[in-house]
Structure 1
Amino acid sequence: MRQVVNRAGIRENLDITKIREKLQRACEGLEVNMVELESHIESIYQENITTKKIQESLINQAVAMTSFDESDWTYVAGRLLMMETEREVFHKRGFSYGKFFESIKKLVELGIYDDRLLNYSEEEVLELQKAIDTSRDMMYDYAGANMFVNRYLLKYKGDIFELPQEVFMCIAMLLAINEEDKVEVAKRFYEALSLKKVSLATPILANLRLPNGNLSSCFITAMDDNIESIFYNVDTVAKISKNGGGVGLNISRVRAKNSMVNGYYNASGGVVPWIKIINDTAVAVNQQGRRAGAVTVALDSWHLDIEHFLELQTENGDQRGKAYDIYPQVVLSDMFMRRVEEDRTWTLVDPYEIRKKYEVELCEIYGEQFEELYLKIEADDNLNLKKVIKAREL
């Protein structure tokens, strides 16, 4: 009799029946031939192979069998991964679904869960447990299941310690915690989340049930045109990313390349060097190890550095002026779009020079006020840094 090593490290006889039962559950209702996957068990088997390795091999085989014509294999792989995760959690923490109150208590004691979850009484948690539908773990294809398991399920000492439907219910409980009838509201939240009627932002899905977790996912800030503000924003971006948030940073106030610094002309390096630092900060400080830092950097279309900005992620040119890990965005005005439509010129200027001469921060005004000032700037022949180009070319 062929033998395998189970999760407890004990040798036991290979039980094909158990494997077949899992495959039947994974293939139920899908347009796949289970026998095709089952036939690979023989090739997978090796002496002293672990049951976990057999399951992983079957998942990989299902992924390999996925094609345009037989796309349901990706759901087979996703279901097998969810089943494997449930078995793994059961082995590590001693229980699976069905002991939701015990799960909350244990994870709070380990410092994994926010202790506010214990604001719900045991009776309330048992009532919520009845609403948990474990069959919804079977709704994911492989890509979705793999992301859920590896990015969002919380771990203890490197081992996954919670289950997908527990994630949704715990988030629902925290969202409903201040409601008068919090149990019923939590049930409604759970239904919406677990049935994918609502898609949560990554920081919420990853952070909310953690101690001191929060609902904030995206943060907007702006960089002023001085060293203190620039490095304050670098520090801010790092801290937000460290705590799982994404950042939108407006950099339009920063003076353009060749602008004046401390009375010296042509001293400024423009916005690109600062964007490079932000780019490297996003790489260095990821979102709690779950994904890379997410930073979008915005520049107005009238800024003199806009052409260099638009080349931040092209592959040609000086690589020292590239930033491939941020998301560039351009702030456009109605006036610019009319110039494009009418095939007219557009004027690029230095925000520092405009600030000194007109005592206004150009990126802070809009509408009629912006258009009135912008026309004055275009007519001003005494500006040192100014470039006129075709709007369509830009």
Structure 2
Amino acid sequence: MSTTTTDTGVAQVRVIRRDGSVSAFSATKIHVVITKAFLAVGGDGVASASHLHPMVTELTDQVQSALLRHTRPETTLHIEQIQDQVELALMRGGHHKVARAYVLYREEHAKARKTVPAAPEFRVKKADGDLAPMDWDRTAAVVNEACADLEDVSPELVLAEVRRALYDGITADELAVALVMSARTLVETEPNYSFIAARLLLDQLRREVLTRVAGRPVEATGEQMSYSTYFPEYVRLGIALDRLDPELAEFDVNRLAAAIRPDRDAKFDFLGMQTLYDRYFLHDDGVRYELPQAFFMRVAMGLALREDDREARAIEFYELLSTFDFMCSTPTLFNSGTTRPQLSSCFLTTVDDDLKSIFQSYQNNALLAKYSGGLGNDWTPVRGMGAHIKGTNGQSQGVVPFLKVANDTAVAVNQGGRRKGAACAYLETWHIDVEEFLDLRKNTGDDRRRTHDMNTANWVPDEFLRRVEADAQWMLFSPDETPDLHDLYGLAFAERYRAYEQAADAGEIRVFKRVRAVDLWRRMLTMLFETGHPWITFKDPCNLRSPQQHVGVVHSSNLCTEITLNTSSDEVAVCNLGSVNLANHVTSAGLDAERVKRTVHTAVRMLDNVIDINFYTIPEAERSNLRHRPIGLGMMGFQDALFTLRLVPGTPEAVEFADRSMEHISYHALSASADLARERGAYETFDGSLWSQGILPIDSIALLAEARGGALDVDTSSTLDWEALRTRVRGGMRNSNTMAIAPTATISNICGVGQSIEPLFRNLYVKSNMSGDFTVLNRHLVADLKARGLWDEAMVSDLKYFDGSLAPIDRVPDDLKALYATAFEMPSEWLIEAASRRQKWIDQAQSLNLYIAAPSGRKLDNLYRLAWHKGLKTTYYLRSTAATSVEKSTLRGTDGKLNAVRPVSEPAATPTGTPTATAAPPTTLAPSAANEALVCSITDPDCEACQ
């Protein structure tokens, strides 16, 4: 519609004027304002009316869309917010002179308003509809309390921002959100305002929780309830609502309540607290009754249910979680201690070549995804296009139509709206349908043969890459004629594959195709760059280094490429994840080895407990998990640790730290599992495993090197006493697998650290997830700039202008530019080298994203061949730079959405569709239409898969 002719559909949207009065929203008024702005700069001759009118109409539509795209009836906007969006639209459109004039106009009027008498006092609408004078003393007290113990923050600035959002008759809920939003608008100038916003949200949460627990409306936030009083009531309420496991009542709840540390509520930043509020805290019909420390204790209790001294273990687990030393994965946080404790993160399946198995796989996917599981499906056994179907004497349409149905199943099952159902389809490179498989994420072509919502990954055997490097031919087969290739790897695969080539040449195989290996490899890399898929993962390292190769084959990885477990028609692999927060385990002096040891031993026990407590939705998953008992201990906060240690990323010193830190985690993870085996018994299939032979991950590198004829470039140095550990491991392991580094896309937000092993994306950017958009500012950098007297408004402006990069800012010293270089300002090869050093210690794999600033075919070819030569098992997303990124505006209050309750001046966030590729060379870093720069699909609102 044209906003200049009608305001249909927005009549219920209200606008708060500066005098506190409320009027209906009118796009026509916006059109008039923008027109006047153009005329003020250029006069009547700025453009012809025929040119100016459509241009202004388009800008008006942009403003209206930005303001109202997620509105609900009776949404309230503030006049300043509308003017902010007008300024943004002018700047995005390149109308810089007009925007500058508009900014000056606003500043002049703001100065003039300071001489105007203060507006009348506002009134707050109570729950019963009555109006009461606003308690400014209480509001100021709340803000001052939130600012306590934080440096370089001003309660007065927050209160000034609050006044902008008020109107007469504002509700208590709206006032609570106005407080949070007012602190949030200041985050880009000082990171500590993020903690203030979190504390103000916590204040609102406490009122909401108290209202539900007390069973009556609580108007003011001054009424408090201590954790010691609240926690027993919380447990009773949760059980009465049939949400908490009744067995929790058998704990000594008062003892646990006494162990809770309320001061740890102040550790959250805004992104962490908002994420917990929106998606993790238990609620009754939308009203939350779970506070942060109760949340951690509930998770700890759920994991301690089968312990002998349950209270002591629950307190031990609580300490680890509430200090952010370790964090369980999202499914565990969602469901631990509840009546449906599905705590596992990842499920891997193999789909057999018959209709019953294929449609059973759809049902399994739905049941597994329902309770927050991420899925990895091995589709290689399904026969390819043109293959003979004996039952009908017809020809197969191949695997692609079945993948389309799997895609739609993942979309349909969205975990109750908390996380979108997500799956990844794997296919081996010799499959006859592999070329169509590469096209699944394209936006062009027959949409019935596209999977826009499902991830895809290549499962690449070493033999293929040997052919690529030799510029040799490669043959594609249908698996119904070459069934044993699916279960073979290493030299056995190569030998059998060559035999099938000879059979095809002899006319003994019906469906096959010969291609140049280099051409197929180039197409794989081209599709990876253009659509972000399929990812490149390596079959042989995953199998040759698997501790469980005596009882099966690894046929795929999982949704996020860090899990490498066996699958078969009667076993669905399950992995249970959690991550050590490495940032909490370093000081300026180095790695705190004792703290790592304590954390890892407790974390492994927690993860092992998941297996016995878990609620299994399908029997194949339960059977597999109880037989093999795999867990996946990972890490996050790696980049934060580098900042603390003052180690420049992309240097030998940073790579060495990656090696040594993972060595310590690996050593203690294996030690803890061996200790648990002595206490609880070894896992069922231990005999015959690599563990039983004393072959640890660091030793299994030799198996891969042997299969490759020594063509493996992996550092094998070590510093700890591994021989003594080998002896203990031979005596038994509690878990078939112990380590895997997941993306930690969400739990790192909770802990306020960088995710997983990721390098720094930018020093200032806007992060998007299902809770909205959040300004992310590197607080380590801010501290350093403050120490050198360089942190000011001009620096904020420069960081925005240069997309969070320090390199072009002349006044920043070179040592800080090096330390805080972003992912695209350092060689991609260092990520692979660091990953190679970690991989030698890990019995599974790692979610490794690769960054490349200016991609080319040659660079991608070199990068992924290097990953193979360095012994990596898998890679994940390829991230490249976007054409545009962070909004260049210096406006405050434009950093996204807040949906804790119905907001005063912004609409609630709702997940948008997963970004799809465009005709131009796409990127996993493409920004949205608003002032954001999405890190990649992993932080898209619809894709926070593993953690």
TM-score (norm 1): 0.91
Distance 1:7 1:83, change over 3 A: farther
Offset from partner CA, 1:214-265 (integer Å, 9 cap, x none): 3323222111111111111111111112233222211100011222223778
Which residue does 1:365 correspond to in 2? 488
Q: Does 1:101 align with 2:227?
A: no
1:87 alignment partner in structure 2? 207
Q: CA RMSD in A?
A: 2.1
Q: Within the alignment, does 1:251 sit opposite 2:376 as a pair?
A: no
* 1:118 maps to amino acid: A
Q: AA paired with 1:97? A: Y
CA shift for structure 1 position 90: 0.8
Check whether the contact 1:86–1:96 (CA below 8 A) recurs between aligned residues: no
Matches of 1:327 and 1:44, distance apart in 2: 42
Q: State the match for 2:273 in structure 1.
A: 145
- Asked if the contact 2:302–2:338 (Cα under 8 Å) also holds between the matched residues in 1, the reply is no
How has the CA–CA distance of structure 1 residues 344 and 197 changed in structure 2, closer, same or farther, with 3 Å as cutoff? farther
Moved more, 372-381 or 132-141: 132-141
1:174 match: 302
Q: Do the aligned partners of 1:176 and 1:186 also contact (CA within 8 Å) in 2?
A: yes
| Contact 2:159–2:182 under 8 Å retained in 1 | no
Asked if structure 1 preserves the Cα contact closer than 8 Å seen for 2:349 and 2:376, the reply is yes
Identity of aligned residues (%): 34
Equivalences for 1:225-240 in 2 at 5 Å? 225-240=353-368
1:75–1:7 CA distance, 2 compared to 1 (3 A): farther
Residue 345 in structure 1 maps to residue 470 in structure 2: no
Task: Sort the Cα spacing of 1:129 and 1:263 in 2 relative to 1 into closer, same or farther, 3 A.
Answer: closer
1:55 equivalent in structure 2: 176
Matches within 5 A, 1:1-394: 2-6=122-126, 11-28=131-148, 29-67=150-188, 69-94=189-214, 97-98=227-228, 99-120=230-251, 124-262=252-390, 267-355=395-483, 360=484, 362-380=485-503, 381=505, 382=507, 383-393=509-519, 394=521
Decide which moves more: 24-33 or 107-116.
24-33
Aligned residues of 1:77 and 1:142 also touching (Cα < 8 A): yes
Counterpart code for 2:208: E
**Cα 1:126–1:72, aligned 2, differ >3 Å: closer, same or farther?**
same
3-state SS of 1:230 partner = helix
Amino acid at match of 2:495: E
In 2, are the aligned partners of 1:256 and 1:303 still within 8 Å (CA)?
yes
CA shift, 1:119, in A, is: 2.1
Structure 2 CA distance for partners of 1:263 and 1:169, relative to 1, 3 Å: closer
Change (3 A) 1:146 1:252: same
Count the aligned residue pairs.
385
Give the secondary structure class of the aligned counterpart of 2:319: helix
- Of stretches 263-272 and 229-238 in structure 1, the one that deviates more from structure 2 is 263-272
SS at 2:386 equivalent: coil
For each residue in 1:302-344, what CA deviation from the matched residue of structure 2 results, as whole angstroms up to 9, or x when unmatched? 1111122122112333332221222212212222233333443
Q: Any unmatched runs of 5+ in structure 1?
A: none
Measure the CA separation in 1 of the matches of 2:432 and 2:135.
Answer: 71
Partner secondary structure for residue 12 of structure 1:
strand
Could you say if the C-alpha distance between residues 346 and 74 of structure 1 is closer, same or farther in structure 2, counting changes exceeding 3 Å?
Answer: farther
d(CA) in 1 for partners of 2:429, 2:141: 61
Gaps of 5+ in 2: 1-120, 215-224, 522-947
Conserved in 2, the CA contact under 8 Å of 1:203 and 1:245? yes
Change (3 A) 1:8 1:213: farther
Return the alpha-carbon distance in structure 2 between the equivalents of residues 279 and 102 of structure 1: 43
The answer on whether the counterparts of 1:255 and 1:270 sit within 8 Å (CA) in structure 2 is yes
Q: 1:220 to 1:96 in 2, by over 3 A?
A: farther
With over 3 angstroms needed to count, the CA separation of the structure-2 counterparts of 1:91 and 1:263, relative to structure 1, is closer
For 1:250, give the aligned amino acid.
Answer: D
How far apart in 1 are the matches of 2:323 and 2:479? 49
SS at match of 2:344: coil
Counterparts of 2:277 and 2:204 in 1: how far apart (Å)? 10
Q: Deviation per CA, 1:42-64, whole angstroms, max 9, x where unpaired? A: 22221211122112123223333
User: 1:173: how far off?
Assistant: 1.2
Q: CA contact under 8 A between 1:257 and 1:266: conserved in structure 2?
A: no
Alpha carbons of structure 1 residues 319 and 141: separation in structure 2 relative to 1, 3 Å = farther
- The answer to whether the 8 A contact 2:213-2:233 is kept is no
- C-alpha change, 1:86 and 1:30, in structure 2 (3 Å) is farther
Partners of 2:151 and 2:207 in 1: CA distance: 23
Matched position secondary structure for 2:415: coil
Contact 2:162–2:182 (CA<8 Å) still a contact in 1? no
Q: Is the 8 A contact 1:207 1:244 kept in 2?
A: no
Question: Which amino acid in 2 is paired with 1:347?
Answer: M
Corresponding residue SS for 1:329: strand
Which amino acid in structure 2 is aligned with residue 50 of structure 1?
T
Counterpart residue identity of residue 517, structure 2:
A
Q: Residues 62 and 76 of structure 1 are in contact (CA less than 8 Å); yes or no, is this contact kept in structure 2? A: yes
Moved more, 24-33 or 223-232: 24-33
Separation in structure 2 between the aligned mates of residue 23 and residue 276 of structure 1, nearest angstrom: 52
C-alpha contact (below 8 Å) 2:303/2:337 kept by paired residues: no
Q: How big is the shift at 1:186? A: 1.1
Structure 1: distance between partners of 2:457 and 2:375: 12
Contact 2:383/2:480 (<8 A) preserved: yes
- Inter-partner Cα distance in structure 2 for 1:344 and 1:131: 66
Question: Matched residues in 1 for 2:395 and 2:273: separation?
Answer: 52
Letter in 2 for 1:114: D
Change in 2 beyond 3 A, CA 1:270/1:25: farther
- In structure 2, distance between residues paired with 1:114 and 1:184: 19
Tell me the secondary structure at the aligned position of residue 254 of structure 1: coil
- Following superposition, the deviation at residue 7 of structure 1 comes to 5.1
